[in-house]
Amino acid sequence: MHRHGYKGRKFGRENDQRTALIKGLATSLVEHGSIETTLPKAKTLLPYTEKLITKAKKGDLHNRRMIVSSLNTLATAHKLVDEIAPKLTGRVSGHLRIVKTGLRRGDNTQMARISFVDDLSAAPVAKAAAAVAKPSVKPAVKKPVAAKETK
């Protein structure tokens, strides 16, 4: 059989299983910041997550909904848009790195760690800084109304 026109890695799975696998890996990466998986899975996950980060940097409603549909949980989608993307504004691309770690003991498969290039714990969160900058507003105090005398 010829390989012309067959792009992408199949991982020995059907299309829906492959989609679920990539969504799960991307969700874990956003949640934990770094994951260890096989090298082919990491190479497939890299462009998928880079596109999600680019959408998260735009941050409008449409892109937020696209990210929600591309990740497994709503919490990780909001974390990507609200916490991680503001810290990555200094880069245009290349937000993730793949480092080969070693061989898996059972089947001798090449393992790799995929993680964010920038340190996400050091940079402040943009929304938290904006919330701190707002001055607190004191509620207006009402003056008591004098009661009218009746005869």
CATH number at residue 107: 3.90.1030.10
pLDDT band, very low/low/confident/very high, at 135 (cuts 50, 70, 90): low
> What single letter denotes the amino acid at residue 29?
L
| Average pLDDT score over residue span 112-132 | 73
- Domain range for residue 67? 15-118
Would you say residue 91 lies in a domain? yes
Total structural domains in the chain? 1
The pLDDT assigned to 139 comes to 61
Would you say residue 148 lies in a domain? no
Would you say residue 139 lies in a domain? no
Would you say residue 147 lies in a domain? no
| Average pLDDT score over residue span 41-48 | 97
pLDDT at residue 108 is higher than 80: yes
| Average pLDDT score over residue span 67-74 | 97
Would you say residue 2 lies in a domain? no
Mean pLDDT over the full length of the chain: 88
pTM for the predicted model, two decimal places: 0.78
Would you say residue 124 lies in a domain? no
Would you say residue 93 lies in a domain? yes
Would you say residue 79 lies in a domain? yes
